[in-house]
Structure 1
Amino acid sequence: MRYELYYWSGVQGRGEFVRLALEDAGADYVDVARKRGDNAMMPFLRGKQEGALPFAPPFLKAGRMVIAQTATILAYLGPRLGLVLGGLSAEIYAQQLQATVTDFMAEIHDTHHPVAANLYYEEQRPAARKRTQAFREERLPKFLGYFENVLTRGNGRQALSRHSYVDLSLFQLVSGLDYAFPNAMKRMQSRIPHLRALAERIAERPNIAAYLASPRRIPFNEDGVFRHYPELDPAR
């Protein structure tokens, strides 16, 4: 099957978790908006296409099905791309972990947009500083500590008993946080050795390494979820 991925053309965002799974598996897919522009998504978002009505991108067209929400897309793709093996219990656990990634992404987004998503960062900078201090001191260690524990309770190398889309998502989390909060992540270094090692291994997987070196990998920027504002990541 040839998959069609719909997501904003200029950012990694939540669509990147799906891209990584498709790239790692060597799936046949097209990143539609990057070829045809963001307006290609509008008929789906306005309910003018057949299939389920997505609330927002990313969404995936698989045959006649339209599947929205990152965690749901990955739950669908996982068994089909060999990115969740081990039966129903493994699939459910992968969904649980990916849902926690989704929760974490919402909190990461709110560091730079704590008041309203339709306001510019510069319009909510004081609130962002306050929100991000709590994020760095409390939420970042809590979430990363949880995922470190997930790896520790397993075999220390991956989230499930075998390689899965969750490992790819954890790689993306670490990569994005390294970009957005390099100082905070440096202070976390000794507390997340398994996550660090996992991220390095994922980056070396042949298909992922080729993807990261290609123009298909959109650079991190200040329009995505992971944004680097120096005032939100002090050295101390």
Structure 2
Amino acid sequence: MKAPITLVHRVTLPSRSPFVFPTLRLPASRPHKLSRQFQPHLNFKMSTRASKRQKPNDADKPFQLIYWPGLPGRGEHIRLAFEASGTPYTDVSNKTDAGANCVLTQIDAKNTGDDHNPPALAPPMLKHGDDVLISQTPNILLYLGPKLGLVPDVNDDPVGAYHINALTLTALDGLSNEAHDVHHPVAVSLYYEDQKPEAARKAKDYREVRLPKFLGYFERVLAGPASKGGEYLYGGKLSYADLVLFQVVDGLGFAFPRRIGKMRESGKYEKVFGLHERVKGLEKVKAYLESDRRPEYSEGIYRHYPELDEEGE
């Protein structure tokens, strides 16, 4: 099915555009070719890195991430899970000629899904083999966790995966979704410039109340006995919740450099910022962050507007 022409024409927008799918701004330095038709069952060339953590029956099924090209966004949490575990995957919009059409085809109003998969409302989406297509960031991570070794074995810890999922949902709620709402507090269909007074009011509350609340919560988690030592959030081992917390803290540092800098210097959140540095220094994560596979922050969830990062708290 060809993507509607009107949608394709809206892919490239002026700066400071509203953040609403399928409207998005692609960084000018990273052009992407839009294919005429996204073919969801193509066998894309995979990375040569081998994962030792996948179950044998999943080893021959390729993973494909479907997300907007050129943006970290909500797809970044899934990229980090693959990269940290050394699992081969294809970032379809960035590494194939499908470009943004891989997203536009899936969210087209005429798409009703198939016999096993309902249509997704929005990206990110994960395609696993030819028969699985799921959406929603925490849902995808819940699916990937056991396959990538990023949750405890269910035989050793029957509820561990659910604790990790809860930590992930909390981080995404307060440090990703709310961070986005700072610059779009009224409506995602409006430009930031159309809601600047409301954004300024929202930003003040976010800096003074919400950021301390959520970073303080994760500081308590890391100080608690279930963390098993304070290096990671749960069970003393890296999980996808740690990768999510790393990414949201990293994004907040881009959006609110002065506020996050002050919080780091305060010493009240040493364990949270320590986890950020620890994950950043992991061999596979470090290699990814230094590669061209890591999209740059621009005008997605985390946007830097200096006027929203005012001091005075």
When normalised by structure 1's length, the TM-score is: 0.96
Structure 1 residues not aligned, in runs of 5+: none
- Kept in 1: contact 2:172–2:248 (CA 8 A): no
Residue 48 of structure 1 deviates from its aligned partner by 5.4
Q: Are 1:74 and 2:141 matched, yes or no?
A: yes
Alignment match, 1:7: 67
The aligned residue for residue 91 of structure 1 is 161
Q: Which residue of 1 aligns with 2:107?
A: 45
Which of 122, 125, 129 is residue 59 of structure 1 equivalent to? 125
Alignment of 1:198-217 (within 5 A): 198-217=275-294
State the AA in 2 paired with 1:169.
Answer: V
Aligned to 1:191: 268
Select the residue among 194, 202, 210 that pairs with 1:131.
202
**What does residue range 82-161 of structure 1 map to in structure 2 within 5 Å?**
82-87=149-154, 88-104=158-174, 105-153=176-224, 154=227, 155-161=229-235
SS at structure 2 position matched to 1:66: strand
CA distance in 2, matches of 1:203, 1:230: 25
Contact 2:146 2:153 in 1 (8 A): no
The superposition leaves residues 152-204 of structure 1 with CA deviations (integer Å, 9 ceiling, x where unpaired) of: 11221101112101111111011111111111112211111011111111111
Q: Which has the higher contact order (CA 8 A, sep 6+)?
A: 1
Instruction: Work out the percentage of aligned pairs sharing the same amino acid.
Output: 43
Shift of 1:10: 2.0
* Matching residue's letter, 1:198: L
Aligned length: 235
Contact 1:108 1:226 in 2 (8 A): yes
Amino acid at match of 2:167: L
TM-score by length of 2: 0.73
Take 1:99 and 1:203, find their aligned partners in 2: how far apart are those partners? Answer: 21
Q: Which runs of 5+ in 2 are unaligned?
A: 1-60
Greater displacement, 27-36 / 137-146: 27-36
CA contact (8 A) 1:157 1:198 kept: yes
Deviating beyond 3 angstroms after TM superposition, the runs of 4 or more aligned structure 1 residues are none
